[in-house]
Structure 1
């Protein structure tokens, strides 16, 4: 009764055609593989774009930090030059008291070089006062004499000017 077609006695029932399952499974597998590949590719691309954006943001932050660090280094170097000039000026005054005129002049020359390296903007120093200190250091030299007080006062005045520059910044 399963077969709606009438059968003649002695005759075999016609065979049912079996469908092949292999092409259906192969097609379904290919579709599933393609769908999974597409999903993975999409997710991978969006993840890559996010990582690229993150790296660009980190690079921007690093560049800003580098710029700030560079400015701070310039400032520290300029302040260091001013501190060095001040210290050398005080040492020149000590050598003058000891009547070591050659050493005193050497310290003044080195102080002038250190002050010349100092950038007023980088050190956040008063430009006019720094120029004045540089000019005084360049012009000052000590000579042997009986009265050293005038020369000593000139050297100490330069050191005090450098102190003021450093205190005001």
Structure 2
């Protein structure tokens, strides 16, 4: 997390090329699935789950998997939704990743790379500011819709239904 994303562009290109997935949808999706921030968020959440909740499930006869699946994972809903929103927003607005793992052809062009092409005059529209601003607005709509659809989970506590004080 301390290494700037720009410093990882060349290793990212080399790995994608080595795996033979350069300029494919797999290269566009696979490297963005897991990131260090997501691992950190989930680790911090699972560390905050009270041990007494797990012990109570074990006392009731639940296996380790059943304890995780039926008790701990439902408690993690706010953390998972937060991670979903942050991951979607991060990958939706990612420009440099898509620039590095694709050739830039129209087949694998995302909305963000298309907007950059439009702004730079690549589409022959270098002075059409209403078109540029309208396209920029369109890129924000999916992230805003996802956030507003899931915002009620932000205000709920992480230990909802856990241990009573």
User: TM-score normalised to the size of structure 2?
Assistant: 0.28
Q: Which has the higher helix share?
A: 1
User: TM-score normalised to the size of structure 1?
Assistant: 0.28
Higher relative contact order (CA 8 A, sep 6+): 2
Q: Which has the larger radius of gyration?
A: 1
